Structure 1
Amino acid sequence: MDYDERMKSCHVLVTEEAVQETLKADKGIKAQLTSWRIEDFTKFGDNYASIVTSVVVSFVLDGVDEQTSYVVKVNPCHGYPNTEGVTNVGFVKEAEFYGKLLPRLNAAMEEASLKTLRFPKYYHSCLEVGKELLFLEDLRRRGFKMYDRRKGLDVAHASLVLEELARLHAASLLLQNKDPEYFQNTLLNRDWANTFDGAIDVDAMFGGHFDNTVAMLEKIGGYETSIQWIQSTKPNIREILTEQLEPSKYHVVCHGDAWNNNCLFRYNEGVPEEVMFVDLQLNHRVSFGNDLNYFLYTSLTGDVRKPNLDALLETYRGHFNAAMEAGGAGGEGRLSEAEVLQEFRNLNVLGALFNMMIIGAILMEPEDVPDFQMKGKDEDFEKIIEEMRVKSLDMIDTNPLMRPRFLSVFDELMETGLIPK
């Protein structure tokens, strides 16, 4: 089933009943729905674990005709019944974040006289397996838009993201201090790779990308020690990911998928002044170093990340400490400059892993991105990996963005000592 066909299948899942429930949650019970229509605005390559579309709604409120719109995340309709459980867990995690966790996080922020966290408003969800829907605020109506994923974020954009990650992380600790039992027995305590009860073969998923990275480095030449490091790390992927679950002082609620495709920005005369986070299907509770590594090694080019790293980490630390201080946390709740840098460095292996996993998809033209929807057969996944390998190898010579973006990560991690020189 191609992308356009799948979009049509997804449209069927968006029901008038769901639209009415969304309108009621947004405008109140007096709002009377008069008409609605689906209006697609995303394209192939923008969506991975779900399909994202929008609904334009006409209604009458207090005798006045009005119109609004909502963003709708929909079951991806990939046609593989045996992976519907994986899809459902992602929707459940996101719905629980918006519907249950976020109000508590925002209450903790408001109690500290801080602004609430920057996420779209949540209105309605359907979590029936195979029919999942999630209705959210259409941030386009407030001027937010996606940044071109193929361009690395500059310092101004990256600083906004790090400020908001810091506030999210701090809010979770303020909530934990207020209600220590809240985070027990929750999906948040599973690393994203362990969320799906074995339905995803993590070793195969990462292993294929590791092999592709080795092929790319071999083609470029001169990175023999990086190749050896990748090959020695590959058998330990699951262990590396599982280690991140160990409780520590640095455990917070992480976004889990913090790269520039999941950040929307609002501008004032071309200058970014506000960020909103979207796509919370992989949110989980681990070290803040997870989000920092994921974001900094997938969403910035080396020539921005390396010379500005200390300043960017200090931006994160400053806003984290400010939130903790406003929330009444003592000195133990604050992070020192050395602690932030050390925890970031301790988890640099995750930055390398996720860079290897998504760098090709980030830099490809939208029409060239393989279909990453979860498949039901091993040979389907192997076909995707092989398609990525062929396209990524070609991009080394044909896409001027690929080689410097790809190699900068290995160059930096050799300088820091994670990868032997």
Structure 2
Amino acid sequence: MSTQIESEVKQWLATAFKLNLSNFSVKLVGSSGKGDGYVGDILFAQLSTPDQVHNLVLKCNKRSKTLQQYQTFTRIFLHEMFLYETLLPTFIDFQKEKNLAEIFDSVPKFYGSYKSESAHVIVLEDLKKLGFELWPVTKPLNREHIEVVVREYGKFHATSVALKTLKPEKFQEILTSLGRSLSHIFQSPVMQSIVTKCVQKGIELLEGEVEEKIIAKLKHLRENIANITVEFEEKAPLKVVCHGDCWNNNFMYKYNDNSRNVPSKVAIIDWQIASYGTPISDLSYFLFSCISAKDIERMEDILLVYHQSFSSHLEKFGLIPENLYPRAQFLNDWKNCSKFGFVMAHMATRASYVEKDDIVDLGEALDKGMNLADYFSGQIGNVEGYKKRITYLAKYAYDNNLL
């Protein structure tokens, strides 16, 4: 990498770590591949001081002039900074204050950030150096991986509820800074255009493959994309801080053995579109995007794993789960709100089947005049793999009256 980039990175890290430039050295050891970051680039660096070495991931905003014209992308990058700088530490510290033996802290360690007119940088620990791995993006998660994620979501959402219940003023302060609901994000014409086009592409593949009554439901869903989040936020009585970006590539797993079948830990990454909404939005987005045809038939069991984790974590705060989110209400909310996850899975699963060689950098695509809806609904390599996934998702959603 060029001397200019190394010098720039050193300035970023001096600010993030509050170090004098003469007191440490930096070695750049890699960068993100194609498709590893849509609105940002990733650099891997090693920072050395006389006392210790830090292996780091630097998330940097893209420098595309066209991309910078989309204020949404600048906002979501700064939004993720707020999550790492303020919101997640508040949640973690709150659990420690309550002396919880087991807490939600399944996120990368945050070291600091750098902000200038042209550069926004988030500095995190390199999870790969700690033994964490990504799951193959085209492969549905097995049951063990699904359960370790839904348990963590349960603890995360319960911490949100506990903070709102026990420290309402602090929670309101956080909420004001968070600044947006899921409906607010989803009401964006750009977002609606992207999702609508991905659903349409899915319908085109499913025609002739599933019964016409399912196609009719999918077409009705496509025509009502704009109302999905408004409907469920009106119906869902419980709202929490949500992760928001729940597809396969945003979880890293650590294992205690070589089988790679049963993870011992998970780390949740990419908090750029975190928002305030129903916990079903995270749960359904994750499950519909990652579940296998075999495990989708055991969906109710998986939902109860989530609710048990949520309830157990609330009890550790001294709260009564049945007073705050009883199981019957949770399952009713799943019925009312999970179509959101089904819709988002069209986009997420589609992205999983784009071949590496066919991935186009988002900034470059916009510089060449491509619009965002066409970018996110572009050609995929393994069409049959994608069609197989959305076929069993559509059948399940129809059979369980979720559409």
Q: Return the TM-score normalized by structure 2.
A: 0.88
- CA-atom RMSD in angstroms: 2.9
Do structure 1's residue 119 and structure 2's residue 119 form an aligned pair?
no
Are 1:305 and 2:305 an aligned pair?
no
Pairing 1:155–2:143 present? yes
State how far apart, in whole Å, the 1-side matches of 2:287 and 2:119 are.
35
Provide the secondary structure at the position in 1 that maps to 2:378: helix
Cross-structure match for 1:4: none
Which letter maps to 2:66? Y
1:70–1:100 CA distance, 2 compared to 1 (3 A): same
Please report how far the alpha carbon of residue 123 of structure 1 lies from its aligned counterpart in structure 2 after TM superposition: 1.4
CA distance in 2, matches of 1:295, 1:252: 16
Matches within 5 A, 1:161-240: 161-181=149-169, 182-183=171-172, 186=176, 188=178, 190-192=180-182, 194-195=184-185, 198=188, 201-218=190-207, 220-240=208-228
Code of the aligned partner of 1:276: A
Query: Does residue 279 of structure 2 align to residue 279 of structure 1?
Result: no
Q: Of 11, 16, 19, which aligns to 1:22?
A: 16
1:395-414, aligned counterparts within 5 Å?
395-397=382-384, 401-414=385-398
Task: Give structure 2 stretches of 5+ with no counterpart.
Answer: none
Alignment pair present for 1:72 and 2:58: yes
Find the counterpart in structure 2 of residue 364 from structure 1. Answer: 354
Q: Which amino acid aligns with 2:401?
A: G
| Residues 187, 239 of structure 1: alpha-carbon distance in 2 compared, 3 angstrom cutoff | farther
- Superposed counterparts of 1:49-68, under 5 Å: 49-61=39-51, 66-68=52-54
Residues 1:306 and 1:208: Cα distance change in structure 2 (over 3 Å): same
Q: Which runs of 5+ in 1 are unaligned?
A: 1-6
Distance of 1:409 and 1:129 partners within structure 2: 44
| Partner residue, 2:29 | 39
- After superposition, the Cα gap between the structure-2 partners of 1:413 and 1:368, relative to the gap in structure 1 and judged at 3 Å, is same
Alpha-carbon separation, structure 2, partners of 1:359 and 1:187 = 31
The equivalent of 1:3 in structure 2 is: none
Could you tell me which of 357, 371, 380 is aligned with 1:380?
Answer: 371
Percent of pairs identical after alignment? Answer: 23
Contact 1:265 1:273 in 2 (8 A): yes
Cα offset, 1:318, TM superposition: 1.3
| Pair 1:197–1:52, CA change in 2 (3 A) | farther
2:340 counterpart residue number: 350
Distance change (3 Å), C-alpha of 1:130 and 1:22: closer
Residue 120 to residue 53, structure 1, CA distance change in 2 (3 Å):
same
Residue 93 of structure 1 contacts residue 187 of structure 1 at CA under 8 Å; is this kept in 2? Answer: no
Q: Which aligned pairs between 1:248-287 and structure 2 lie closer than 5 A?
A: 248-270=236-258, 271-287=262-278
Taking the aligned partners of 1:165 and 1:91, their CA distance within structure 2 comes to 22
Tell me the equivalent position of 1:92: 78
CA positional deviation for 1:177 = 1.4
1:370 Cα deviation after fit: 4.5
